[in-house]
Structure 1
């Protein structure tokens, strides 16, 4: 059979035993062939002249009752042995054949010698055998190859299945778009038997429906006309509408349309196949919602913001209204609610969203930007006994009540709050009714989806809660470690600002300090620890404490930074507790890369000595408003080691402004440090402004929203100079008579200052210090008295040996002088200079008795 002929046969729905296409043999009463069709020649290979007159048994024989079928190589394709393919093979029996109208499988012999199985049927001719003699035509035998018959039967079964069992709805519309036929699935969709809606138009059956696939016509009428007119099929076109069998519920179908033509090519209609993909669409929407939840929830580590994101992302895709209530302690301090019964949990309404703006306007408003604590900005959430929310809190599980679904926000064994999803117009809380939504219930899949949404949201809220708790602890630690109050200083006027970093970045390790030093000097320090959180705050506290301790030893700035660098870079095995195998975690994670700037200002000489370890240089504003940034040697950040630190000394006119700051003030995402330094210089270059005004201007100009990604510290110091009448200084020779001369000068100066009550004690102090300088130091000696908030006495020599306070034995002839000095003064100490050392003491003024 040619390929064209085979294709035609495949498209021919007539059966293989149809007399118009099957092999036909006319038999007489003796089963002798008296007629032979061309199809018979094509099937068996014998021409009519070879077959006519021969018995039928020469071409066909009944199958044996027992024994094998022909070999597989000789069997037609698709034919299996008996008992293996489900093929029913009747028992062979002698005789001319089965009764008229019966079908029988027989073994046929082809002209070329091979055998094949054929299906045969026999029908009698009117007036045949018995009426016109044995040689007259009496019966017609129709035969077809068994494989073709089975293929045809399969096609019939397919058509039957499409008509009665297929889940795909099939319908045929004529050229006027009136329905002429539909299968069982279509009948179920319409909800009526075919006879009741045959002849109706498609747009009458699905009024209000529309195609939602972009780029195609929107109506059924337009799509079908397009297919009929052009002959182009349209596949997988999505149609949205309400089926008659399910009023009130929108469905989505995947539809395909193709034109129908008869054998002569005449167009007589269009076929529609439609498959309801509503469930698939809902599953895709749920998956998309989960993806969107993962993308939009938890963008910042803030409990309230996360709760608001939950409400926004689920309306209107999942519910008509959503409320999120979170435990008060979680919102305010990041703590977990108390364990035990959740029914009495104190909740705050922190998130709410609705598809109905009117209902949202009528509800008690949420005001995240209001001042005060979260408890003041968000209303309490209370629910009456027996409400779905109350039952969910009591049970710890989700509750579905009509069109209200309440899901707890659970983390481990704790409940952080509740999420309420609503699809009903029923108000759930009398004082704040939820807005009405689509009248729809939650099915099992949507309940599972809500549970998954709440689980993901709970993880995000718990992360935000943990961050809130750590940030609160870090801020508390930071506030304790930073100066609470800077006492007034004679050397400088002080103002400062400190801004912690934003909620996203977390608390950093910036710090500043003002340290009173001997000789009315003052130490100014600002520093920055790399990193954020508790570790950075703790490291900042250790560094600040260390700087204060080193500064009290009157170390020069470069020496102080060297000691601080050694502390930060201390090997792990040398840190406290390391030898016992219990090194403190606080020391394990000492941050390397911390920066520091330390400056010492002397109001007597107006000299300022400063050094920095990887920190930005200070800004110096001269009395005329000119701003400079001294070219101070940078030095490496603390903890790196290897390079020495260098100091720079400058003289500052009275009224100069010294500004120390961290990079959080001058560096931001939208500008670099140079731009920030220029802006700071413009702000500070106003000599008439007070320090407090300059601080406020600097913060508003450089940190306009009062939050940065890094901590911000700004320390302003306006220099002063002690009046000449407050300082008395003399040079003495390193001789034995120097002590007496020192006592004489001291008494005279104290009389001028009106401090005669301090003369006796001060004489003893000066005499002892000068005597020690003559004996153990070198000349010339310098004696200086300073009248400030206390009386300061200083004796300087060229020696570098340090006196030590000790208890003398009873038989010692000396060693008691410094002990006596320590009893007469408030404080005393030693500071070293390049030229030698200075021993200083500090005495309080006599208290003035009130009248």
Structure 2
């Protein structure tokens, strides 16, 4: 459901009724700028003289909701529903946070009557949030728990419905659910009745795209063992994986009719943790919930076997043969003479009966592999054949053991290897680096479980001169080797970026590295992709002083730019060859100037495949998603990933969005210097005067020493022209000296009687970082000081 016009208006009011803050949404709602209302009584915004009534309603309460008549700046009267929370600050001062969601909010779509009854009457609190994390639906149980009607919450975010750190954490987790499409569990305390574990589940459409998030609380906090398969909960509704179903079907086909008239294979969705079977003293003491992976029966009429089909949920009550077999880890043989034998009862007798009607002899064999219990295999005979004997039990155990090995292998290879997944997570920046040139947000979508961890990645690298590098890349293949290759490339890019190579030269060096990696892998065709063949990369460097951006790409999709007026376009970066082709074609860089506030969008081919037949359609969806305003960059990333739903499920994807900033002209100062030793004193004077203008007198002594050494080196060893530049970007001060020589200065340790050689050593001691940056002509030696207090 689209919510493009929805926005949230917030304001804070102290206990005396004075407005203390006013959001942009509040300005949109009532038309008042914050300077016109902050510090004034909130009652002045009411359209009627009911201020005392409102204050009376708030007295003695920590939360209030209702409809209030407000007066717009142009004189219009607005009837608006408000939700207010009392908040106490650290200083002990209390006040009110007032929020409202503003939009033409149509009723959210309803489902079939049975679905509606299930949602509304569920005994568990349920809520549905859209892709902008605004509440769409809330059931009666949640309304009662929060003492708020759905109408008062609709359109608001969780952090506004119930402010607090726990809700902030829950909202961050909801974003992860939207990104990954995987359910998560948090402890979100929404109220006195909801101090329980909360499950956040993605709601997907027919194409697999995440369209909403469902919040549901559990009845209790399951322990570590029960989290694997809670006997009081039904199994998940995911289908049986094809490999598991095939292996289970092979077991059933081998047993019927050779051994049994009926065979079923029931599996846990998530096998219990390894540790061996349970103690026999608890045999069959728990209700077991599994999913049917295969079933076959020899029936008289040739029809399908009775009971649940493949993928259906099966529940076995304590005392039944399957429950006892799962509890003890041993096979169970029961016949019609056994008083417990006919006890197939379960919550749904028609769906949980171990065998069809007429079964008079049953064998239950646990499916064990490497200490894990995967499920249970059932073998039954009807009255046309003799009951099972000891030899039949041995044959059933042999068949089950072979099947368990195959099932275990299918489970192991059907999901990403933990090492590859962990390595892939470590390849992404966990927090934006300390830099002031760009606002950053990024997302990575993993490939489907069968493909395994892939090699799509991005990075943000602070450079000298307040510049920042943005990188996006793709490594062909999946699994641990692809993740390892991605790690090598990311480290190489960071190393090359640290020496300030231009974008095209960096890709040339990276191409050589990929070739060496491929050679190290040898001639193994399976290792070719892991060696880096087919690797792509996009490298961009943004300078907030000049607002210039230099970009180069190697087989990678071009980046998109969104200008402040909302126009979206692809940058025409020359298309270099993919890495690992041996430098047959050169890499070329594009340099462009970006207005302040522009968005630079880098994505991998998992989202936008240039050679895909539907590339034009995907590009249109990307442009549409980027062209609409978004409250935050995170929200924009979520929208892009939601819109681009046609990506291949066996390919992972990465997205990086950056909003450009510009360094104010009064924070940069530069001077042209002559190649004369007497100019060093003048350079120190320029630096001292500029630091006084910036209010940085405490840094003057250190800066004068750094300027003196760098300018002296440029005069002695460089060539004119010589330029001195100071950049003040909180919390750092950068000093740069340029000259036209290409020689690189090196720091060395001077001997006792040497008259020189200590300049760069002194610079290194006085600065946080220093280095040399080579331009097309000449070089720049720079030093960065920290202005933050120790």
Q: TM-score range by the shorter chain?
A: 0.5 to 0.7
For the pair shown, the structure with the greater C-alpha radius of gyration is 1
Q: Output the CA distance in 1 between the equivalents of 2:322 and 2:386.
A: 15
Helix, strand or coil at the partner of 1:569: helix
In structure 1, what is the equivalent of residue 482 of structure 2? 536
Aligned pair partner of 1:834 in 767, 776, 788: 776
In structure 2, what is the equivalent of residue 409 of structure 1? 367
Contact between 2:604 and 2:653, CA under 8 Å: does it hold in 1? yes
The structure-2 alpha-carbon separation of the partners of 1:338 and 1:382, relative to structure 1 and needing over 3 Å to count, comes to farther
Aligned pair partner of 1:785 in 697, 719, 726: 726
User: CA deviation digits over 1:678-706, x for unaligned, max 9?
Assistant: 211111112565322221111111138x9
Q: Output the CA distance in 2 between the equivalents of 1:663 and 1:417.
A: 37
Note the C-alpha offset of 1:845: 0.8
Contact between 1:727 and 1:784, CA under 8 Å: does it hold in 2? yes
In structure 2, what is the equivalent of residue 554 of structure 1? 500
In structure 1, what is the equivalent of residue 715 of structure 2? 774
In structure 2, what is the equivalent of residue 798 of structure 1? 740
Aligned pair partner of 2:577 in 607, 611, 636: 636
Helix, strand or coil at the partner of 1:736: coil
User: CA deviation digits over 1:249-301, x for unaligned, max 9?
Assistant: xxxxxxxxxxxxxxxxxxxxxxxxxxxxxxxxxxxxxxxxxxxxxxxx98535
In structure 2, what is the equivalent of residue 218 of structure 1? none
* Aligned: 1:525 with 2:471: yes
In structure 1, what is the equivalent of residue 759 of structure 2? 817
Note the C-alpha offset of 1:454: 3.6
Greater shift after overlay, 444-453 or 753-762? 444-453
In structure 1, what is the equivalent of residue 672 of structure 2? 731
Q: Output the CA distance in 1 between the equivalents of 2:650 and 2:592.
A: 34
Q: Output the CA distance in 2 between the equivalents of 1:517 and 1:669.
A: 34
Note the C-alpha offset of 1:419: 2.0
Note the C-alpha offset of 1:493: 1.1
Q: Output the CA distance in 1 between the equivalents of 2:397 and 2:384.
A: 21
The structure-2 alpha-carbon separation of the partners of 1:300 and 1:796, relative to structure 1 and needing over 3 Å to count, comes to farther
* Aligned: 1:748 with 2:722: no
Contact between 1:423 and 1:440, CA under 8 Å: does it hold in 2? no
Q: Output the CA distance in 1 between the equivalents of 2:504 and 2:335.
A: 73
Contact between 1:624 and 1:687, CA under 8 Å: does it hold in 2? no
Helix, strand or coil at the partner of 2:455: coil
Contact between 2:514 and 2:579, CA under 8 Å: does it hold in 1? yes
In structure 2, what is the equivalent of residue 151 of structure 1? none
Q: Output the CA distance in 1 between the equivalents of 2:394 and 2:276.
A: 27
* Aligned: 1:714 with 2:655: yes
User: CA deviation digits over 1:464-504, x for unaligned, max 9?
Assistant: 23225653332112112221111353111111111101112
In structure 1, what is the equivalent of residue 546 of structure 2? 605
In structure 2, what is the equivalent of residue 351 of structure 1? 291
Unaligned 5+ runs, structure 1: 1-296, 368-378, 425-436
Q: Output the CA distance in 1 between the equivalents of 2:252 and 2:643.
A: 35
Q: Output the CA distance in 2 between the equivalents of 1:322 and 1:729.
A: 81
Aligned pair partner of 2:750 in 808, 811, 817: 808
Matches of residues 573-588 of structure 1 in structure 2 within 5 Å? Answer: none
The structure-2 alpha-carbon separation of the partners of 1:694 and 1:573, relative to structure 1 and needing over 3 Å to count, comes to closer
Note the C-alpha offset of 1:672: 2.5
Note the C-alpha offset of 1:404: 1.8
Q: Output the CA distance in 2 between the equivalents of 1:781 and 1:409.
A: 78
Q: Output the CA distance in 1 between the equivalents of 2:709 and 2:499.
A: 22
Helix, strand or coil at the partner of 2:472: strand
Contact between 1:388 and 1:399, CA under 8 Å: does it hold in 2? no
Helix, strand or coil at the partner of 2:444: strand
Matches of residues 242-281 of structure 1 in structure 2 within 5 Å? Answer: none
Contact between 1:794 and 1:838, CA under 8 Å: does it hold in 2? yes
Note the C-alpha offset of 1:610: 0.7
Q: Output the CA distance in 1 between the equivalents of 2:328 and 2:272.
A: 21
Contact between 1:388 and 1:401, CA under 8 Å: does it hold in 2? no
Note the C-alpha offset of 1:728: 0.9
Helix, strand or coil at the partner of 1:713: strand
Matches of residues 88-487 of structure 1 in structure 2 within 5 Å? Answer: 300=242, 322=264, 324-326=266-268, 330=271, 349-352=289-292, 390=324, 399=333, 401-402=335-336, 403-410=361-368, 416-421=373-378, 423=380, 454=400, 457-467=403-413, 470-487=416-433
In structure 1, what is the equivalent of residue 145 of structure 2? none
In structure 2, what is the equivalent of residue 592 of structure 1? 533
Contact between 1:327 and 1:337, CA under 8 Å: does it hold in 2? no
In structure 1, what is the equivalent of residue 67 of structure 2? none
Q: Output the CA distance in 1 between the equivalents of 2:786 and 2:397.
A: 72
In structure 2, what is the equivalent of residue 692 of structure 1? 634
Q: Output the CA distance in 2 between the equivalents of 1:617 and 1:547.
A: 19
Root-mean-square deviation over aligned CA pairs: 4.3
Q: Output the CA distance in 2 between the equivalents of 1:341 and 1:703.
A: 48
Contact between 2:288 and 2:323, CA under 8 Å: does it hold in 1? no
Matches of residues 659-670 of structure 1 in structure 2 within 5 Å? Answer: 659-667=601-609
Note the C-alpha offset of 1:651: 1.0
In structure 2, what is the equivalent of residue 516 of structure 1? 462
Note the C-alpha offset of 1:591: 2.5
The structure-2 alpha-carbon separation of the partners of 1:463 and 1:738, relative to structure 1 and needing over 3 Å to count, comes to same
Normalised by the length of structure 1, the TM-score is 0.53
Contact between 1:807 and 1:819, CA under 8 Å: does it hold in 2? yes
Q: Output the CA distance in 2 between the equivalents of 1:540 and 1:618.
A: 20
Q: Output the CA distance in 2 between the equivalents of 1:764 and 1:846.
A: 19
Q: Output the CA distance in 2 between the equivalents of 1:340 and 1:394.
A: 5
